[in-house]
Structure 1
Amino acid sequence: MTANDLVADACTRIRQIDAMALHAMTEAPLLIDVREPGEFAAGHLPGAVNLPRGVLEFAIEAHPALACETSPTLADRSRHLVVYCLSGGRAALATDSLQRLGFRKVECLIGGFTGWTGAGLPVEGA
């Protein structure tokens, strides 16, 4: 099995959203950028938080942007999340992992940051 096989397998279990549909949403989900910190600093979607793929499963519970109202040490698993990376592979794997951790409303951005910028949509930090 290859990394691409793993991504393709994850894509059979996750929901995906394209850049234009995400941009058009009236209620913005929490955007999770799973790229490395240097990639994030070079440019990211407006309002995104950086949780690198390598630490996502370990750091998701403690991230303040995801805290439950009733328990600041637990992540709100009902919150709408959209996960992205550079092109979609890492985000697909991350989305699959988040679903397995019990997050119920999580989607993967089709084409990732590349798809977003290719559609001419705004970025921060660039």
Structure 2
Amino acid sequence: MNEPDPAPEQLPVSQPVSVDELLEKVRSGLDRIGPRDAFDAAAKGALLVDIRYAELRERDGLIPGALVVERNELEWRLDPQGSHRAPEATGHGLRTVVICNEGYASSLAAASLRQLGLYRATDLIGGFQAWRAAGLPVDAP
């Protein structure tokens, strides 16, 4: 008699939470940084990753030197072991600062990168809008 195959390993299922509760939880595990600190981090070799969708990038411009990765491709492009990784995804210890438009989706994205082992991933408080408001460099659309 054949034994049934064991169930595939699954991620734990958690109790339902609101997105606000989830955001608070993931942010408690991130060392989020402001625009000036992100600018300084990039100057020291951190990778800035812009996950805003094309319409926002075309409307507002780009942060010079930031890697543009659509949110739905982020994990595949930043996984240092992945077959579809970006050349900039050099290792799990790479300081990575995820940037969305206002600093919400980037927190969830950074937490996802942490689950892949990118233990220095974080996000920009206030997102691209805070970067621009701080007077930091932006390439015109």
User: What TM-score, normalized to structure 1?
Assistant: 0.82
Question: Cα distance, 1:38 vs. partner?
Answer: 3.0
Equivalent residue of 1:94, what SS? helix
Question: Cα distance, 1:29 vs. partner?
Answer: 0.9
String of CA shifts for 1:75-125, please: whole Å, max 9, x gaps.
Answer: x11111111100111100011011111002222111000111111111124
Q: Could you list the structure 1 runs, at least 4 aligned residues long, displaced by more than 4 angstroms after superposition.
A: none
Q: CA-atom RMSD, angstroms?
A: 1.7
Aligned with 1:51 (options 64, 69, 85): 69
Give runs of aligned pairs for residues 42-81 of structure 1, distance below 5 A: 42=59, 43-61=61-79, 62-66=85-89, 68=90, 76-81=91-96
Amino acid of the residue matched to residue 32 of structure 1? V
Equivalences, count: 118
Amino acid of the residue matched to residue 126 of structure 2? G
1:17 maps to which residue? Answer: 33
**Larger RCO of the pair (alpha carbons < 8 Å, separation 6+):** 1
Q: Is the 8 A contact 1:51 1:60 kept in 2?
A: no
Larger gyration radius, structure 1 or structure 2: 2
Structure 1 unmatched ranges of 5 or more: 69-75
Give % identity. 30
Aligned with 2:106 (options 91, 98, 120): 91
Question: Cα distance, 1:57 vs. partner?
Answer: 1.7
